[in-house]
Structure formats: structure tokens, C-alpha cells
A and B are shown apart, each in its own frame.
Chain A
Amino acid sequence: MNSNTRFNILRTILSVGIALSISFIIIFFTSQEPVKAIVELLTGPLKSTRRFGNVIESMIPLIFTGVGVSIMFSANQINLAGEGSFHIGGLVATYIALNTTLPTGLSPIICILLAGVAGSLVTLIPAILKVKTESSILVSSLMMNYLILYFGNYVLSYFIKDSTAGSIVSYAIPEMTQLSTIFAGTRIHVGLFIAIAISILGYVFLYKTKVGYELRVTGENQDFARYSGISIVKITLISSLLGGFIIGVGGGVEILGMYNRFSWTSLLGYGWDAIIITTLAKKNPLYVPFAAFFLAYLRTGASIMARSTDVVTEIIIITQGIIILLVVAEQFLSKFKHKMIAKEAKATLENMKGAE
């Protein structure tokens, strides 16, 4: 482990620590019962099986979006349409589940795969626009999210809405298409295995295959990649296609695992959550589950805290923002990094002298 990696890990931990301290200070100044709030936030999720189950359940969608965004960001494609991919993944999975009769066992697989295909289309459109017209992938991907949101609302209201239900929700998804629960007493479902598998496969793809290598080289330095004969067009399309597919699968898995009806009428924010996970995991799919666990734990803790004290869950969103700011601020602790590198260099020099 060289000093750079060590420094990065240290800085990430320190950033998280500082961000958490800031939110604790805010809690101390605004809450009537700050100690109780902080204890609930930190230890609440451990107090019952059901609560710890909540952590794992909410970790699952975060892993999918985190891996998907990691792949796109590794190629330096700042494609923010993940929000839309996830949304349409859920919509398509619901639609297929309601409108087809497939054999048990096969049915959820088909739904999830098609959800992935729909998700990949959402991230692919901005990428194609970029390749064909050099338009900003950032802007067009943001537009895609809203396009998908209203399209989803349209399909929900006109094609799959259950008018006997009290609110705007789809018909119930048949039980045989839903993903089965794996731990009694929680809602943790088979999607957990799919998510872990995706994170391992994502790692293998990015770090052990030729295309993955090309993708990362392009992300590091596009000009260098071009001169080395890597097709930037190919990388742009592959990263968006794959990233969107994984996120779309995540949307499908979430609907089939956690809900029995489609009821998303606003954007859920999973696309933005993926950014913080990618930042913490340093774009490595293998670290994504850990970052997702961390965020899911905080979220669950925050909602327990909000239920039992006067502090609102939104404090965690603020913490998330501060973590991103500190982790990605290159100059944050840069003096310290300088010292660390200098120390290591000195040590190496002395070792060499000793060897002579």
C-alpha cells in the first residue's frame, strides 16, 4: 500500500468523521434531547433484527446504483441519468409482471432483465447525443430524469393504475413474480445476492478485463487513451450502456423485492445517493457494498432517531453533502499528504543508503 492510497483512506475516514461531528454539533444546538438522539442514530439499527434488516434492505438498491455510477464515472462520463434508469427499471418490471404470464421462477428474471434494458436506454440516449453532436452529457442526462418521471406518471395513470386503490398505485404484482424473502423477520430478499454478485462482476469487468482497463484509461486521460488507439466512442457507449443496465436492474429488483405495487410518482433520489457511494468507494465496485452499508446504516439510524426524538432525518442528507464536499476536495489535508509523501521518500532514500 503506497502513501497515496493510505492517504486517501485516511482522508475519507477523516472526512466522514468531521461530517458526522458537524451533524452532532448541530443536533446538540437544536435538540432538546441531543444525547438520546445521537445514541439512537448510532446504535438504533443494532437493537432488533427487524431494524438491522432495514439496514440491509435499504443497502440493496444503493449497491446497484453505486456500481452503475462507478462504472460510468470510471470512464469520466458524468452521466446523471441513473435516477431515470432506476425509475424506469421499477416501472418496466411492474408493467411486465402485470401484463405477462410467465412460468414461476422465470418470471422475475425476465422482468428484471427487461428493467435493465430499459435502464440502459435511459443512460444511453445522452451518451449517443454526446457521441453524435458533442452535446453535454451532464445537461441531457438531467433532462432524461424528468422525461422518465413524467413518462412513468403517464404509464402509471393510464395503463397500470388500480382504480380501486385509495391512492395512485399500480395493480398488485402477482406473488410468484415477487422476489422471495431470505431471512424470517425481515424483508431482506434474494436481491441481496444479485447485488453482491453485480458488485463482484463489476469489479472483475473494470479491473480484470481489457475493455475495463481501456475504460479506466479513458477516464484518467482521454487524450492519452485516444493516442493509444482506444475508441472513445466505444468506451462512452459501453460505460453508459452497462451503467444504466445495472441501475435499471436495481430498479426492477427494488420493486419486485420491496413493494408489491408501483407507486413512484416523484424522483426518489437514488441517482444522487449513488454519487456519494461512488465517492466513498473511490469508483471501485468492490468497495461499493461497504459504502452502501454505511449509508444505509446512517439512514436507518436517522429514521429511528426521528421517530423517537425531535431531530428530523434530513440531518443525514446534510451530512451526506458535507462528506462529498470533504472527500472530493483535493486540497483538503493536502499539506498533510505532502508531509506523508516526503516522509516516505526519505525512508526509501535511507533504505537505499543502508543497502549500499
Chain B
Amino acid sequence: MILNALFSPEFINATLRTTTPILFATLASAVASKSGITNMALEGIMLFSALFGVIFSAAFHSAWLGLLVTMVLGGFIGFILAFFVLKLKTDEILAAIAINLIATGGTVFTLLTVSGDRGVSSSIKSLQLPKITLPIIENIPYLGQIISNQNILTYLSLIMVVVVHIFLYKTPLGLRIRAVGENKDAAESVGISSKKVQFIALIISGVLASIGGFFLSGGYMTYFTKDMSAGRGFIALAAATMGGNTPVGGLLVSLLFGAAQAFSNIMQMGGSLPHELVQMLPYITTLIGLGIYSYSLMKKRQRLSGK
């Protein structure tokens, strides 16, 4: 019965939906990590963006304009993180924790100030990006039910996997980002300004994470609730790490998280397994996967250094 559920088109369709925000944040984490900085502020950026999306889509009467402003502000938070880490020499983890705290309090505070709502944006008439049915594909049995009728941002997230891959591996800026992340001093010695590159990487990271945050309140849900990022930023950090900070690897691990979440959603609605145990699955998988992945990296390093 569980197996049937796992291969049902509804389940896979739901998985793509739950994966979307995680995937955006995972790509964001990958770009930052490639430049040598751990962006743990993803959680806060997503939370802020979920609120910004609601406020600005309502203010401009346009979901697209709302998304645009949210992306700009997401990039700005990335810039602030970069400013503290690179200019003021703040520990990147502590700076990120601070930003996450400010997001937790700041979103509730801003929501109350803007609309008078406490914790849930019920009085703001926010807009969502549309779901799309794909012509021709929607008529293919099974496949159509999975792929068609998703939110436009779900398609965008999959496209972004390719875009970020090309960006990191085929463009000069991507090469610089990877060079700085691999060895800062070597990059500096050939005339690359590592600070500038890391600034850019963190801003891009902020923009990517903000799209994921926007999706939470403008697609996945239709309103903002406090703490709605619910650890997705941290999950993304783990997904990116376990995926070797590559976009494609990140996609696979994000899907795993998405599937586990979709599965626990089904189990919550009266399944045969306790949904709390199902919810533990992705974290256990990540711990084990992370261990195996890191172990193989360690062995590789030891082999290369000839020990």
C-alpha cells in the first residue's frame, strides 16, 4: 500500500512542489559554498522573503513585481551578510545566526506594523504566481499528471539547476568563484579580488534563496505565517553539502528531502506509519549520506597527499 502511494503520480507531483523551496535554497548554498563561505543565513533570507513577497505583491497588485522586489531585497540581505563577514571581519556563522534572529523577530514585527496582523498575514490580499498546465505533456498519462499543473516557480527551480550549473562551470565569473573557494591566495595571486568575488557570490546566493522564500507564501501557501521557513534553509545547507555543492547533486538531495516531506504529509492525513518517524527520515539519511560523502572525500585527500 505504501509502495503504491510512493509511485502514484499525485505523490511525485507533491514531491516536486515540496522540493521547490528547498531546491532554490540549495542552489543558493552551493553558490556561496563554492566561493568559500558558508551561508547559514539562508533560513533568515527565506523567512524575510516569504513576508516581502506577501507585502509587495499586495502593494503592487502584481505577483511578478512582488517577486522582483523580493529578489532585490534578498540580494541586499546577502550583501549585508557579505559586508559583515568580509568588511567587518565577523565570524560568518555568528553573523548568519544574527541575521536569522533578526528575521525571526523582524518578520513578526514588520507584519504587525504594516497590517496589524499577529503572526499570520490574513488581512493582506497577497497574490500568488500561477500554476501552469503544459500543453501536449499534460495529455501523456502518468508523466502529464506528474509534470504538468505545477507552479511556475517549480519549473523555474528546475531550470535554475541548469542555469547555475552553466554559470558555475562555463562562465568566467563562475570560474572565479570556484577559484576563490578552492584557494583564495592562489586566486589573489593571479589578480582576482577574492573579496569582490565573494561579495557577488553572496548576493547571488541571497537572490536565489529569496525566490525559494517567495514560493513559500506565494505558491506553496497563499499567506505568510511566522517561522514559515521552518528550517528549510538549514536543510538546504545540508543538501548542498551532501550534493558536493554542485547544482545537480543538490537537486538529487533536495528531491530526497522533498519526497520525505510529501510522504509525511500523506502519512499525517491518516497513513499506517507514524508521521513523526517518517519526518525523521531525511535527517537520518542526510547524516549517513554526509558521513559517507565526507569519508570518501577524506580518503581521496589522503590518497592525493600520498599518506
Contact = CB atoms under 8 A, between A and B. Distances in A.
Interface in B58-96: 84, 87-91, 93-95
A144 B101 CA distance: 20
Interface stretch (B129-137, B169-177, B209-217, B271-279): B271-279
B293 A322 contact: no
B113 interface: yes
B276 A150 contact: yes
B277 A139 contact: no
Residue with the highest number of chain B CB atoms closer than 10 Å, among A30, A133, A143, A316: A143
B280 interface: yes
A279 B91 CA distance: 11
A318 B102 contact: yes
Size bracket, chain A contacts: 35 or more
A138 B38 contact: yes
Interface stretch (B10-18, B141-149, B185-193, B294-302): B294-302
B49 to A, nearest CB: 17
Residue with the highest number of chain A CB atoms closer than 10 Å, among B118, B231, B297: B231
A132 interface: yes
Contacts of B99: 321, 325
A324 B93 contact: no
A136 B294 contact: yes
B234 A142 contact: yes
B237 A139 contact: yes
B105 A328 contact: no
B95 A328 contact: yes
A18 B105 CA distance: 18
B277 A154 contact: yes
A30 B113 contact: yes
A136 B294 CA distance: 8
B241 A136 contact: yes
Contacts of A294: none
Given A138-B38, A154-B274, A332-B88, A133 B94 contact: no
A232 to B, nearest CB: 14
A344 B302 CA distance: 48
Contacts of B106: 314, 317-318, 321
B276 A151 contact: yes
Contacts of A272: 97, 100-101
Contacts of A78: 93
A147 interface: yes
A139 B290 contact: yes
A142 B291 contact: no
Nearest to B89: A330
A325 B95 contact: yes
B232 to A, nearest CB: 11
Interface in B164-221: none
A143 B274 contact: no
B287 interface: yes
B290 A129 contact: yes
B112 interface: yes
B42 to A, nearest CB: 11
Contacts of B293: 135
A331 B85 CA distance: 10
Interface in B105-145: 105-106, 108-109, 112-113, 118
B80 to A, nearest CB: 9
A227 interface: no
A132 B88 contact: no
Interface in A227-264: none
A68 B161 CA distance: 40
Interface in A185-234: none
Contacts of B228: none
A80 B284 CA distance: 17
A320 B283 contact: no
A318 B89 contact: no
Contact of B102 (A133, A279, A321): A321
A62 interface: no
A134 interface: yes
A143 B238 contact: yes
A356 B116 CA distance: 72
Contact of B105 (A133, A143, A151, A314): A314
Contact of A129 (B101, B279, B287): B287
B159 interface: no
A330 B283 contact: no
B152 interface: no
A133 B295 contact: yes
Given A132-B291, A317-B101, A328 B276 contact: no
23 contacts: A30-B109, A133-B291, A134-B297, A134-B298, A138-B38, A138-B93, A138-B237, A150-B283, A153-B276, A157-B274, A158-B274, A275-B97, A276-B101, A315-B109, A317-B106, A322-B98, A324-B94, A324-B97, A328-B95, A329-B84, A329-B90, A330-B88, A331-B89
4 pairs of A and B residues whose beta carbons are closest in the complex:
A317-B105, A135-B294, A321-B102, A321-B101
Interface of B: 38, 40, 84, 87-91, 93-95, 97-102, 104-106, 108-109, 112-113, 118, 231, 234-235, 237-238, 241, 274, 276-277, 279-280, 283-284, 286-287, 290-295, 297-298
Interface of A: 26, 30, 78, 125, 129, 132-136, 138-140, 142-144, 146-147, 150-151, 153-154, 157-158, 272, 275-276, 279, 312, 314-322, 324-325, 328-332
Given A129-B291, A329-B90, 8 more contacts: A129-B290, A135-B295, A138-B237, A151-B276, A314-B104, A315-B105, A325-B90, A328-B91
